[in-house]
């Protein structure tokens, strides 16, 4: 069978299971032009408050430095910084003047009233009062409506593990295991089965995602304001027929979380071959995902070699800052490439045709 671009898109469009089917919720983040967008620099160690940059959305100017209690601050991300597999750490924070009332997956919450803020979080109270006084909107009393978020719905899943998907030139998915990040210009995904997070993160970062804009277009979905939850709900989801394949993809996803978390350290110390190592594991993951979506006929010897080498402990090594783990990942790559069976592996003509089409369309 000849796999043209149209054939690939048609095949993906007909996959019955979607991301919505395996998710508890798919939702959008905060409005990036919220009047009380608070970005804070927490680079100082052992500080008890946050040096916060405030932006007035009406003018987008008048940036000032203030101090905000850490208890109200959450790390903030948007589509301006690439975040693939791992949410990239930034110095920015977002102020949430809310109390989260429980630890369930779907949270209950309430907004702090002004008197509570004044007592418990005086720095935040003073800052919000200053913003109100600078506002051109006349109002006698200061109440919670002055700083309530335009859309509070994302608060239901704050501190809940999730995938954060943003789109710049292409989809980029990162796994937030604590759910602490506040995000804008993106979509959050809370899965029904928490064991699927690594696999789904890998799929959303694969070349499968590169074909998705074409699927949206053919289904009549208008993309006038960037990525949104309704669009992402339609993303087709397929799982490998063999459990071992899914396990390998999930483990590689963990490798890539670690490698992307350590990018700045690798750059600082000029570690050779670092991006090539990331590209190697991404390519292996992509091969396995493409096979799951289209042919399911990879050479068994390839799976045997990968299963023998790509392993991980149950401990969350991907969140370790031990740069020595890099040596282990380099050794795994070396063992795979030097394996006699790996050298002998061959792809079917059908799968080779798919790869060639993706390469010609600059996807692969």
d(CA 360, CA 185): 31
Nearest to 292 by CA among 354, 245, 361: 245
- Rounded to the nearest angstrom, the gap between the alpha carbon of residue 87 and the centroid of all alpha carbons in its chain is 6
**pLDDT-based confidence at residue 89 (cuts at 50, 70, 90):** low
**pLDDT-based confidence at residue 113 (cuts at 50, 70, 90):** very high
Let me know whether 112 and 172 are in one domain.
no
Stretch 219-232: mean pLDDT? 75
Do residues 73 and 40 make contact, with C-beta atoms less than 8 angstroms apart? yes
The pLDDT tens digits of the residues spanning 315-341 come to 889 999 888 899 999 999 999 999 999
Alpha-helix residue ranges (DSSP H) falling in the chain: 5-13, 114-120, 122-134, 197-204, 212-218, 229-232, 243-261, 263-268, 274-294, 300-309, 325-338, 340-344, 349-360
Let me know whether 215 and 346 are in one domain.
yes
Let me know whether 299 and 168 are in one domain.
yes
Take residue 46 and report the two structure tokens written for it: 């052992």
pLDDT at res. 94? 87
pLDDT at res. 315? 82
Let me know whether 180 and 313 are in one domain.
yes
Let me know whether 39 and 130 are in one domain.
yes
3-state secondary structure of 238: coil
Least confident range of 186-195, 211-220, 237-246, 249-258? 211-220
Q: Give the number of domains in the chain.
A: 2
pLDDT at res. 37? 46
Let me know whether 183 and 266 are in one domain.
yes
Let me know whether 309 and 171 are in one domain.
yes
3-state secondary structure of 356: helix
Residue 198 has pLDDT above 60, yes or no: yes
Q: What does the mean pLDDT of the chain come to?
A: 85
Let me know whether 117 and 266 are in one domain.
no
pLDDT at res. 78? 84
Stretch 11-35: mean pLDDT? 88
Let me know whether 22 and 35 are in one domain.
no
Residue 264 has pLDDT above 90, yes or no: no
Domain boundary among 137, 157, 177: 157
**Count of residues in the chain:** 364
Which among 54-58, 212-216, 235-239 has the top mean pLDDT? Answer: 235-239
Least confident range of 90-94, 210-214, 274-278? 90-94
Residue 235 has pLDDT above 60, yes or no: yes
Q: Which domain holds residue 99?
A: 31-157
Residue 54 has pLDDT above 60, yes or no: no
d(CA 167, CA 76): 16
Let me know whether 64 and 164 are in one domain.
no
Do residues 362 and 356 make contact, with C-beta atoms less than 8 angstroms apart? no
Q: 279: how many CB neighbours lie within 10 A of its CB?
A: 11
Let me know whether 295 and 217 are in one domain.
yes
Let me know whether 335 and 237 are in one domain.
yes
d(CA 286, CA 210): 12
């Amino acid at each position: 069978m000849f796999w043209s671009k149209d054939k690939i898109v048609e095949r993906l469009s007909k996959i019955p299971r979607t991301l919505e089917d395996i998710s508890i919720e798919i939702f959008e983040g905060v409005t990036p032009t919220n009047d009380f967008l608070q970005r804070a620099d927490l680079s100082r160690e052992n500080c008890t408050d946050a040096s916060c940059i405030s932006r007035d959305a009406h003018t987008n100017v008048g940036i000032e430095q203030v101090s905000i209690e850490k208890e109200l601050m959450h790390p903030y991300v948007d589509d301006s910084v690439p975040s693939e597999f791992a949410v990239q750490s930034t110095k920015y924070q977002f102020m949430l003047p809310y109390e989260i009332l429980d630890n369930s997956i779907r949270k209950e919450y309430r907004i702090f009233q002004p008197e509570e803020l004044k007592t418990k979080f005086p720095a935040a109270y003073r800052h919000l009062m200053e913003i109100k006084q600078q506002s051109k909107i006349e109002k006698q009393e200061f109440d919670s409506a002055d700083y309530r978020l335009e859309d509070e719905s994302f608060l239901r899943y704050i501190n809940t593990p999730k995938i954060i998907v943003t789109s710049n030139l292409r989809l980029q998915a990162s796994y937030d295991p604590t759910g602490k990040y506040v995000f804008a210009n993106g979509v959050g995904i809370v899965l029904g089965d928490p064991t699927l997070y690594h696999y789904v993160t890998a799929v959303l970062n694969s070349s499968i995602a590169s074909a998705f804009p074409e699927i949206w277009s053919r289904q009549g979905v208008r993309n006038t304001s960037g990525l949104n939850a309704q669009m992402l709900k339609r993303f087709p989801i397929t799982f490998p027929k063999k459990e071992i394949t899914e396990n390998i993809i999930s483990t590689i996803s963990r490798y890539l979380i670690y490698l992307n978390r350590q990018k700045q350290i690798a750059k600082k110390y000029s570690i050779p071959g670092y991006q090539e190592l990331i590209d190697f594991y991404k390519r292996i993951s992509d091969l396995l995902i493409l096979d799951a979506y289209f042919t399911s006929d990879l050479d068994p010897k390839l799976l045997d070699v990968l299963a023998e080498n790509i392993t991980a402990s149950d401990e969350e090594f991907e969140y370790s800052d031990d740069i020595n783990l890099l040596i282990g990942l380099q050794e795994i790559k070396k063992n795979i490439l030097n394996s006699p069976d790996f050298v002998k592996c061959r792809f079917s003509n059908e799968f080779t045709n798919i790869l060639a089409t993706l390469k010609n369309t600059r996807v692969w």
